Amino acid sequence: MTIDRMPEEISSDIFEASEGKSIPELLKEMPNEKLVKSFYLIENSPEVTQLRVLQDILKSAENTEFGRKMGFAEIKTVDAFTKRVPISDYSQVAAEIDRLKDGAADIFFDGSAASFIATSGSTGIPKLLPESKNGELVKGLVSQIRAILLLMLAPEVMAPGKKVLAIANPSEYGKTEAGIPIGSASGQAAKDMPIEMLKKMVLPPEMMMAKEVSNEATDYLTIRYALEEKNLVGVVCSNIAHFNILLKKMNEAATDLLEDISKGQISSKICLDASLREKLESKLQPNPDRADELKTILAKNKCLDVAKIWPEFSVVSCWMSSSAAKIVADVKKVLPETVKFLEWGYGASEGKFNIPDKAQDPAGLLALFGYFFEFLPVGTADNQTVLAHQLKKGCYYELIITSYSGLYRYNMKDIVYVTDMIKQIPRVVFVCKESERLDIENLKLMIYEIEGSIQRVSVQQNLEIRFFQLLLDANQRKLVFMLEPCSETLDGELFRSALDKSLMADNRDYQKLRNDNILAAPELLVMQDGYRDSLFTRSIMPGKNVNQTKLKTIVKEYPEKSSIIHWAKEGEK
């Protein structure tokens, strides 16, 4: 096995653990400049890095219940690890996680859980993922490096007097019965921001840390603080759809917002806990000059336009991949052309997996220092995985992770795509969940294949599709597409016919099912303007907000008839 050489100073600092410290602990001690330098040097040697990280994870857990059962102390190579430890998923660790919630220790990792991260999961059923102390350090390090690189790509953020709007979720929702904190992934990311970034936040800490505040109140307060700050230079969030909806709400509630800014208050229409209202209002000051400036903009432009209310707005950091790509394209239309979009980063409750380092690019470098990564080629007939340095550009893979927080060969059931591969250094981007596919007879049609066909037809017909969903009508054996176009020029029948032909040209199994009349001709529903945003509002789960909400691409029910503009069917005009 050939292993690339790593500079001695990096190898000795990170991989020759001193005084029993783990790799995350050693990295956490580094100042920002050295941390970023180490990160890039680590990336240059993916094979040796991943072996050392795996060994570090196993060593830290060799005396746990699972570690003893699997013989972690005897495992020295990747091959030995993959042969001894089977690929797993949440259902296989759920019982032990319940024990961790009750305060049990030394099950998957050394000690008890430091915290739990709440996730809705792809099924919508709430579940909690345990976090070890080292696991928390890894996530913090990824957030730290992401923030540093963001500032390198957008140095204007750190200019004196400039502010940033961070749309996040509470870093802590509550506690388990054993008193262990429960938080959210995005809330944890906000908590892990460098001090320099936290000082730039436009929202007061009292609001960012507040619990049990309704979505309506949170949205109003977010807009109120952001609108008063003329020197807002950018926004940081996971789901840019939330910012898009806030911009619309800003104009709908403009009268109340401007009055609040002028008088230094929070509207009595907004329901808030009395103590929180008192804390927030005690720090507010009347700002009639800013209110008058905004009133003038509103009167002249008939709306509160981003370019006018925030003249130096120039940076957005958010999800840019998968279904978020279309939302980004939509939001760009209401922002100045000079605004830079920076990928927020691919991650989940289980971990933070890549670190974007290029503007306008949704892909990123793997967080090789924090997880042991395996990749299962999509369409493979067995469970033979490949490693980070063995990935191939232009290919799709299921992601398998091993983490410091006790997930061993854990199938994320996420599909990732390799956008680039330079000297064994991969750049990856999240594409979709493995479950986002249609299974019809012998046909397995992934959602990214369907989206590719929709995109090609859109380009051919010079159209832009804001949003799409798809359902399989099992009774009538047909696919039904729901498309929200960006204009009224879409010809439903023309688009439907071209899409059917594109799918047949791209997929032989689909073509055979259509030719054998096993699958009927698809139908297309043209949805009314605003359909996607209405779904965000209706899809919010209890205790969640738009920032935490992802819309399903494959659905099981037809939409409400009132949302449909046109229904295109074969043979009908």
461-483 pLDDT per residue, tens: 999 999 999 999 988 889 999 99
User: Model pTM?
Assistant: 0.87
Q: How far is 158 from 523, CA to CA, in rounded Å?
A: 51
Give the DSSP per-residue string, 471-527.
Answer: EEETTTTEEEEEEEESSS---HHHHHHHHHHHHHHH-HHHHHHHHTTSSPPPEEEEE
| Residue 260 pLDDT | 98
- Judged against a pLDDT cut of 50, whether residue 500 lies above it is answered with yes
- Judged against a pLDDT cut of 90, whether residue 118 lies above it is answered with no
| Residue 269 pLDDT | 95
| Residue 385 pLDDT | 97
33-76 pLDDT per residue, tens: 999 999 999 999 999 999 999 999 999 999 999 999 999 999 99
Average pLDDT for 436-453: 88
Say what percent of the chain tops pLDDT 90.
70
pLDDT band at 505 (very low <50, low <70, confident <90, very high): very high
Q: How far is 548 from 540, CA to CA, in rounded Å?
A: 8
- Judged against a pLDDT cut of 80, whether residue 191 lies above it is answered with no
Average pLDDT for 128-137: 94
Contact call for residues 483 and 467 (beta carbons, < 8 A): yes
300-328 pLDDT per residue, tens: 999 999 999 999 999 999 999 988 898 99
| Residue 1 pLDDT | 34
| Residue 2 pLDDT | 38
Phi, psi angle pair for 511, to nearest 5°: -60, -45
**Domain ranges for the chain:** 8-133+366-433, 155-313, 437-568
Give 358: exposed, middle or buried? Use CB within 10 Å, 0-12, 13-18, 19+.
Answer: middle
Q: Could you tell me which residues are beta bridge partners of residue 115?
A: 131
- Judged against a pLDDT cut of 70, whether residue 194 lies above it is answered with no
88-105 pLDDT per residue, tens: 999 999 999 999 999 999
Give 61: exposed, middle or buried? Use CB within 10 Å, 0-12, 13-18, 19+.
Answer: buried
| Residue 134 pLDDT | 96
256-267 pLDDT per residue, tens: 999 999 999 999
- Judged against a pLDDT cut of 70, whether residue 228 lies above it is answered with yes
| Residue 308 pLDDT | 96
- Judged against a pLDDT cut of 70, whether residue 188 lies above it is answered with no
pLDDT band at 12 (very low <50, low <70, confident <90, very high): low
CA dihedral 173, 174, 179, 182 (to 10 degrees): -20
User: Which amino acid does the sequence have at 12?
Assistant: S
Max CA pair span of the chain:
76
Q: How far is 471 from 481, CA to CA, in rounded Å?
A: 7
Average pLDDT for 266-277: 94
User: Which amino acid does the sequence have at 426?
Assistant: P
372-398 pLDDT per residue, tens: 999 999 988 788 999 999 999 999 999
